[in-house]
Structure 1
Amino acid sequence: MPKAATVSAIVAAAVTAAAFALNPSAERHRAEIRAVVAERSPLAGALGLGALTAFTSTYHSLGVASYTTVDDRTVSVGAFGIVYVLEPPRGDHAR
């Protein structure tokens, strides 16, 4: 049984270290926001709304994960090198 606990502790430490090392940077979040906005709406991409959103976003790191906000609304979340841009709430097209 102690061998299984040791292996579990080593795996947990390796996963935690990988999460810290692969936490997406602020620039990675901003690049993904620009790309997703342009993909979802070519007109918004042409007008630079994705770049504007990315520029005004605030990056927050939790060590093993990170997220960005604009006006207290979470725009993207990321962990293990992957960034996911959240859908805007319905009826919130003015923001």
Structure 2
Amino acid sequence: MFAAEGELPSVPYFAITEDSNHKPNENLIGFWAHDREEVDRIAELVVRYGGTIDSGPWQFPISPTYYAVYFQDPCGNKYEMVHRLN
């Protein structure tokens, strides 16, 4: 489950339900980061808690301001954490 800061259930949140056979799909869930340091911090947490880094964290050639990490949770669900200047 991912939630905004504050008390549930009054803040925005969503949860991912595991497939009973632990088979992820091809969806990618993306999150905006406040800054590059937040992207790096999430990458460290992914590794610490058993996830897999697919790519990054680094500056991607999508644009000169696109800094991201792509990763999977231990069940194989795919995510992106990105910081992008406007």
TM-score higher than 0.5 here? Answer: no
Q: Which has the higher helix share?
A: 1
Q: Which has the larger radius of gyration?
A: 1
The alignment's TM-score, normalised by the length of structure 2, stands at 0.26
TM-score scaled by length of structure 1: 0.24
